[in-house]
Structure 1
């Protein structure tokens, strides 16, 4: 229920803001608005205001529209002709069309600022052991290291308050082809030193799971303590109990829960010697992970939770700082979205990056359960994506209309009706293809397919 409500609220807010941008600027330009609709298809609710604008809520809530008086769509009374959209000056038509996406981008600034001011509870930037051979391991990062600041290239140092700050810094460094300097100490803040993460060697690569594995900055630190166990699982059968601290496996010291989980996954049906601490006792147990096939891989499972919740910190900003962060984060996300679309266009990024309504709904529910600050940040992210998507030069989208107006401004004449029809058909086919790919990606994610 939380997922459904969060998804519907997400759609409602973003659609209303987008269409309200068109609506308010149309009224300001003297254009007569006939209908403001949230959703498509059968009308479920309607109301008409004193100006004759019909506000409707329709059955399919995956979009909306503002219908304006337009002489191209039917006869217009002479007294209303100046109020028709197509009769307004070019600059006003541009403003009306651009207002929707720009409203989404402005909303993102407000939402990011509100999220930063409200605050979020996030894992402290204390790291688990990096993957062997990864950039983090080559840089000298170790289990329990606390990353306190970062700098890209020769830029100034910026504080790392929590893991999201660090992951954002790493992702930006990869996308910009820059090395990342890290200021690191132990978990108690002692022995501070500086390391260099060679993210410049991954310049412009797609930030998928494989790339993150090569980087090696993974889960936050969590001690190797056993959590809940399934009664008939391998862990319970081996004699493990909740609260047991795992000291070593086959003679290798266990630095953290993430490492222990990886050793379990890599040993299906192989007997392991676990040394554990249970209160004042130290015991040796034989544990045999069961075999599981997952996504064409053979993995080990012990049917038990491994690790505790990582240490968390509350991260919030004053309103002036939050507003500035809203502006900068929105700008960064616009750049990131444009680069990603561009890379997908030229084949440097996978089309699997496209997400549809199922993935958005799942993310909406997850962020809502995390808290208000997380949900506001999620809304901001989707609002940026919606704004950028609508500004792409694709017929039927706002960006496609703006390209037509650019042609009109340069040539002095509008695009012909015949060409408009061809472009709209091509745009409809392209949008249908994008929606199909996004939906198939959603289904693949839900089914756990590669």
Structure 2
């Protein structure tokens, strides 16, 4: 995958998210009767500019695409004619100014709701919420969960697939709550299995939280049919060919590829008797797996042959109706926003590592990977980043939307605005905070690139 692919996927995402955010400010300003002077996508030198509307609003495409702004008529920036004072931003009521500022982040949340709603209505492919082998001594095993259980509900709400189960658990991973699961086990339905979430480590270098709990998918039911063995590999020396189907290993019946891999992995340096079907014939061949470098697990140098159909055989379609899809989208947006705030709070308290703060390089990497995975995956990425942008902008940090809302709240309580001196000091403090965050984010990005 080329760097250009990652760059274009990232720039498209940023352009859409910034445009939506600034459109929120722009439309709210127009609705409140405030004159908009400029709508800019990007910062720095102007690359393209056109004026539209009776107010001659200038729409600009600037050179640095990482952001944007809406400039409104304001006495604090330039003299305003008496005839237009009522259309200046600074002359509006606290309520109108708050609405204009709030509209940007709100637009990002609405975009996420729209994306999630469309995906819910269109339907997506997912895997059933069926558990694979549950390791002993894990939280899942202690909760009484077993291999083959299908999770039906979490805290009384239906679960329609593995992705939804994962999202529900991750969104509560920092709460240290006990989730109540209802599962289908064979013909019986078991209710009120308590799954405690305390002790989950949220860190990019930690194991996946689902693995920490002991929740894994069952191995895909791929038939044990071989692709072409590597030259001079144990499989090639044993006479195995592409298209061979493994029926048994040391007289033990094999049904799926994962079983074959595990038997080979546990037999490093030992002769293994294979029963192989080749066309209409059945034969027996002996292979000796070699130990992998730095490991005791064996391998024979052959991969599985897949046709795509077998990989999707157990998948299901998850689709929602009109109103149900909207409710699902609103719930998902709310839960993701809440989780983002919880992560930020735990970063401040030290429970979550500062390594989890990501910058544009990491976001570009995710953008490229999600774009390659398909339109629905890219749209989910877009919705997730849109929510993060909305949450970030609502933080009570001067120069962010949340900082302005804090000023307006203080103004409403005091009955008069803060002094220009205090606002200026706040702006400087906000710039320092953002500069430190961006520096940390770039450091983490570079650390991932060069040190993994």
Fold shared per TM-score above 0.5? yes
**Equivalent residue in structure 2 for 1:356, among 356, 359, 370:** 359
Contact 1:22 1:66 (8 Å CA) reproduced: yes
Deviation at 1:253, TM superposition (A): 9.0
Equivalents in 2 of 1:413, 1:277: separation in Å? 86
Q: What is the aligned-residue RMSD (CA, Å)?
A: 3.4
Q: Which runs of 5+ in 1 are unaligned?
A: none
Equivalents in 1 of 2:291, 2:202: separation in Å? 33
**Equivalent residue in structure 2 for 1:218, among 216, 219, 230:** 216
- State the secondary structure of the residue aligned to 1:375: helix
Q: Which moved further from structure 2: 116-125 or 386-395? A: 116-125
Deviation sequence 1:310-345 (CA, Å, 0-9, x none):
632222222222111111111111211111111111
Q: Please say which structure displays the higher CA radius of gyration.
A: 2
Structure 2 match to 1:95: 99
Distance 1:314-1:56 versus aligned 2 partners, 3 A rule: same
Structure 2 match to 1:20: 23
**Equivalent residue in structure 1 for 2:276, among 275, 278, 302:** 278
Equivalents in 2 of 1:11, 1:203: separation in Å? 35
Distance 1:394-1:80 versus aligned 2 partners, 3 A rule: same
Structure 1 match to 2:44: 41
Equivalents in 2 of 1:408, 1:121: separation in Å? 50
Instruction: Give the TM-score taking structure 2 as reference length.
Output: 0.83
**Equivalent residue in structure 2 for 1:288, among 276, 286, 290:** 290
Contact 2:276 2:283 (8 Å CA) reproduced: yes
How many residues of Structure 1 are paired with residues of Structure 2 in the alignment? 434
Structure 2 match to 1:105: 109
Structure 1 match to 2:163: 164
**Equivalent residue in structure 1 for 2:207, among 184, 206, 209:** 209
2:372 is aligned with 1:343: no
Q: Which runs of 5+ in 2 are unaligned?
A: none
Structure 1 match to 2:377: 374
Mapping 1:43-442, distance limit 5 Å: 43-50=46-53, 51-139=55-143, 141=145, 143=147, 145-152=148-155, 156=156, 158=158, 160-176=159-175, 177-185=177-185, 190-194=186-190, 199-202=195-198, 205-206=201-202, 208-209=206-207, 211-223=209-221, 225=224, 228=227, 231-232=230-231, 236=235, 239=238, 271=269, 274=272, 276-279=274-277, 280-281=282-283, 283-291=285-293, 305=303, 309=311, 311-442=314-445
Instruction: Give the TM-score taking structure 1 as reference length.
Output: 0.84
Equivalents in 2 of 1:136, 1:428: separation in Å? 45
Equivalents in 2 of 1:262, 1:447: separation in Å? 33
Equivalents in 2 of 1:412, 1:319: separation in Å? 45
Equivalents in 1 of 2:130, 2:202: separation in Å? 25
